[in-house]
Structure 1
Amino acid sequence: MSGETVTASEAPTDTTTFPDPTYRDTVLAPLFEGVKTHFADHMDAINRAHLVMLVETGILSRQDGAAIARALADIEVNVDRQALEYTGEHEDWFFLVEAKLRERLGDLGGALHTARSRNDMDHTMFKMALRARAEDALRRMNVLAQALLEKAKSERDTLIVAYTHGQPAQPSTFGHYLSAVLEVLLADAKRLEAAILHVDHSPMGAAAITTSGFPIDRERMAELLGFDGVRVNAYGCIAGVDYVTGLYSALKLPMIHLGRVVQDMAFWSAFEVGQLHVPRSLVQISSIMPQKRNPVPIEHMRHLASVAAGRCDAVVNTMHNTPFTDMNDSEGEVQQAGYGAFDHAGRVLDLLTAFLPACSINAERVARTTDAACITITELADTLVREDGLSFRQAHDVAAETARAVIAADQPLGGGFKAFSQAFEACIGKTSSLDEAAFKEAVDARSFVSRRDRTGGPAPAALDAAFDIYQSKINALRDDLEARVTRRSRASASLSTAFEALLKDAQ
């Protein structure tokens, strides 16, 4: 009858069974395979560490702990994990392991899950997987940084044409350019390191949301799993995905920034510019045009960096407008989807580490462009301010008129003393104090560079001082990374020792 309500007792009987076949095939089975590939070893470590902590705190007796340790070890040795396929008998990998424990121990097999949840376990596994990938990326960045520094030192005095807005601007050196790239890379490395430090805090002990009524030792869990400490707020441990968004944001930046350098390499190596020579080992040929030298690795670095940045965005954007709570939007599928960003980023870093040191500057083309484009004219204006007492705007007018005249005459700037003298008299109404030798010195590219010896300039002394700073930063990043790796190695050994002691009690 219209308007009547149906009570719970009158609702249709649910005769379905879990899992629905489509849900099984589209969600549960892929997640199960993902755990096999990415997380099973981390879950083993969590199980071992949690068991050790439960025994040490007295939550479990040593006798029960020994029995569970023996069962865990038996599962690890005698269950062929790679042969396992998802059947739906157990909801996920966690429940499969628990079922294997209960097969061996009966009800005691369920005791391992005392004072924890899949919530804190999941985020701990994800952090363990992420920090390994992130630190590998950081190591590759540091290797690239060292390679850039060595190349910059060897090219300290190698002249190049520096471009702005796609046009020849001023002379600099390849070492100066590479130092600029290195500075940005080191800043990106510090940002990635900061993101890793945030990942390096354990969620274990947060349980579902609010920790536990049992006397757990969260700090001991963090220590056994190689974390730097605990993430304090339990709600934030399972709801805060900032460790994900922060890390992928930090990984995206070097891909964006290095992609700009790669684009310069494409421009510099173009036939019309010809400033950068790419060696034969990094050049592919055309299948039909025998004259072509195609520096294809540049294109691969460009698109790999773009794909890596795009994957980072995909992960971060998945978190947008999600609730501040435990949710699958930040878990297995998304975690695995992000790992490709590290794969692509690693390839970019490795290829660029090989590419840039192998390249060289075409000095003849640099000299030709320097002459044709009057790129030393800024120093002529500066010299007129210093030597003739002109205002910079007056000097700029003289320099501009000089450049116009020599370009129209298709002559190098160094041979334009007559054009300069005429421009000076036309603009200033008198003769300049510069003779032809002083004029040539003012517009010489090498002189241009050597005069720019302030902090950050391309002059040798300025670059040498910068090189020392960069080496110090590279060393600090390397040492800090090695310290974290060593800490985790010691933690792993400590966990093995504690777990083996439980196993001995079981014999």
Structure 2
Amino acid sequence: MKLWGGRFQKNTDELVDDFQSSISFDRRLYRYDIRGSIAHARMLARQGIIGNEEAAQIVRGLEDVLADIEAGRVEFSVAAEDIHMNVEQLLTARVGPVGKKLHTARSRNDQVALDIRMYVKDEIDQIRRLLGELLTTLLDLAEAHVDTVMPGYTHLQRAQPVTLAHHLLAYVQMFGRDADRLRDCRRRADVLPLGAGALAGTTFPLDPGFVADQLGFAAVAQNSLDAVSDRDFAVEFTAAAALIMVHLSRFCEEIILWSSAEFAFIELDDAYSTGSSMMPQKKNPDVAELTRGKSGRVFGDLITLLTMLKGLPLAYNKDMQEDKETLFDAVDTVKKCLLIFRPMVATMKIRREKMAAAARGGFTNATDLADYLTGQGVPFREAHALAGRLVYYCLEQGRSLEELTLEEFRQFAPAVAEDVYRVIDIRHCVDARRVLGGPAPQAVREAIDRARAMVAQVCR
């Protein structure tokens, strides 16, 4: 008979058992379930709801169950439906009827909410650590390439010269926000729901504060209905995970482009590339492509959670069982991608000369020419038009701005002097942009220092 089967006159159909069972995926929550049950048993004894010796038996039995699961000696039962009831059955088989007292003053509703919250908190800590490792790698790479000039792009067209360090620091900001979002999300996950029962609490004199202290929760749920029906923290985590995947995917898109023969800015290490079964010359950026593709999984996980919750009345509904596979998939996907992305970036070969050559092409110094003319007293809109006409003249001549003579410049803009060549030099174009957040080496070094402090704060 089911643990809840007292009012039923017949067993559930085998198809129903299989359909509603979650043990195939929620088994990964076993450590959290047992930790929560140990804290609950100790609280019951502390409050005089069960005897001290009974609690001690239950705790020892749960520790034995944990050891058996860890050792691979347990075969979970589909008929027991989920990890909670599996653990309870395993416990009762070891300690006898006293094991049946463990579920006093709690429901699977607050039990599963507890397990998921503990799981999310732990996974947030792990993902923040992985983000910290990635951020440190990017900052080390940026420090090595403060002077590596490359083109910056808009619309995937060469726009203005920047440095590789400056480009990498843009992703440092993105991943830093990701870590900070996770830190903030963890605060809202750090609320103990145990004690809410099925939805209306219990008549037993519980001490949720004691359980919160035992399990390391910062707060206790303030409403029993909300405690068992809230999955906002899971949605919020998955939304943060989706943004991590957005940022990884954007970076991967650039790595894919940069490693192509058309760009040739980088070469990926052989350990993070694959070949073709037909074309022997190929070196494919499959790791970057797979990471880019896996972003869709996490976006789907987020939509699944939102859709699952949107029409649910209070309090718990069986629909909410669908939260786990989705949440687990988001966690697994983000962790796998972060684990492989960091060494892929750390080992790629940077082709500085290719980046510099690209920065010198495409008239990326045209804005500096317009700014120079503005400094000579030409209104910016006129200066912009003059620089544009000079670019068009160069295109017709098959030359660059640097290759024009002073006389040619003065045909379009009489105010141009000899110092124009210094101003439109690509290196100068970068060095002159010393504003906060700009690509000039000194500004970048200062940004790296600030970013290291940020990482220490949001990833610890």
Structure 1 residues 76 and 275: alpha-carbon distance in aligned structure 2, compared to 1, 3 A threshold: closer
Aligned residue runs from structure 1 range 217-256, under 5 A = 217-256=207-246
Amino acid at match of 1:444: D
Residue matched to 1:120? 110
TM-score by length of 2: 0.90
Amino acid at match of 2:361: A
Amino acid at match of 1:414: E
Residue matched to 2:408? 419
Do structure 1's residue 379 and structure 2's residue 368 form an aligned pair?
A: yes
Residue matched to 1:178? 168
User: For 1:49-88, what per-residue CA distance to the aligned partner results, in whole angstroms no more than 9, with x for missing partners?
Assistant: 1111111222223233334344445555678975435363
Aligned residue runs from structure 1 range 440-455, under 5 A = 440-455=421-436
Shift of 1:95: 4.2
**Contact in 2 for aligned 1:198/1:243 (Cα 8 Å):** yes
SS of 1:474's partner is helix
Among 305, 320, 340, which residue is 2:295 paired with? 305
SS of 2:129's partner is helix
Structure 1 residues 87 and 207: alpha-carbon distance in aligned structure 2, compared to 1, 3 A threshold: closer
User: For 1:129-156, what per-residue CA distance to the aligned partner results, in whole angstroms no more than 9, with x for missing partners?
Assistant: 2222222112111111111111111111
User: For 1:208-247, what per-residue CA distance to the aligned partner results, in whole angstroms no more than 9, with x for missing partners?
Assistant: 2222222211011011112222222221110121111111
Structure 1 residues 181 and 100: alpha-carbon distance in aligned structure 2, compared to 1, 3 A threshold: closer
In 1, Cα distance between the equivalents of 2:60 and 2:276? 63
Shift of 1:421: 2.1
Do structure 1's residue 84 and structure 2's residue 84 form an aligned pair?
A: no
Residue matched to 2:393? 405
SS of 2:361's partner is helix
In 2, Cα distance between the equivalents of 1:169 and 1:93? 56
**Contact in 2 for aligned 1:276/1:362 (Cα 8 Å):** yes
SS of 2:150's partner is strand
**Contact in 1 for aligned 2:267/2:348 (Cα 8 Å):** yes
Structure 1 residues 405 and 218: alpha-carbon distance in aligned structure 2, compared to 1, 3 A threshold: same
Amino acid at match of 1:153: E
Q: Unaligned 5+ residue runs, structure 1? A: 1-13, 425-430, 480-507
Shift of 1:107: 5.1
Among 356, 366, 380, which residue is 1:392 paired with? 380
Residue matched to 1:427? none
**Contact in 2 for aligned 1:284/1:296 (Cα 8 Å):** yes
In 2, Cα distance between the equivalents of 1:75 and 1:288? 53
Structure 1 residues 363 and 468: alpha-carbon distance in aligned structure 2, compared to 1, 3 A threshold: closer
In 1, Cα distance between the equivalents of 2:257 and 2:93? 65
TM-score by length of 1: 0.83
In 2, Cα distance between the equivalents of 1:173 and 1:472? 22
In 1, Cα distance between the equivalents of 2:249 and 2:228? 35
Among 285, 300, 305, which residue is 2:275 paired with? 285
**Contact in 1 for aligned 2:23/2:81 (Cα 8 Å):** no
Structure 1 residues 277 and 406: alpha-carbon distance in aligned structure 2, compared to 1, 3 A threshold: farther
SS of 2:364's partner is coil
Q: Equivalent pairs: percent with the same residue? A: 27
SS of 1:113's partner is coil
Q: What is the alpha-carbon root mean square deviation over aligned residues?
A: 2.5
Residue matched to 1:22? 15
Residue matched to 2:341? 352
User: How many residue pairs end up in the alignment?
Assistant: 452
In 1, Cα distance between the equivalents of 2:458 and 2:281? 45
Residue matched to 1:205? 195
In 2, Cα distance between the equivalents of 1:65 and 1:382? 78
**Contact in 2 for aligned 1:244/1:316 (Cα 8 Å):** no
Q: Unaligned 5+ residue runs, structure 2? A: 1-6
User: For 1:406-438, what per-residue CA distance to the aligned partner results, in whole angstroms no more than 9, with x for missing partners?
Assistant: 1221122211134322221xxxxxx22412xx1
Residue matched to 1:146? 136
Do structure 1's residue 432 and structure 2's residue 415 form an aligned pair?
A: yes
SS of 1:312's partner is helix
**Contact in 2 for aligned 1:285/1:294 (Cα 8 Å):** yes
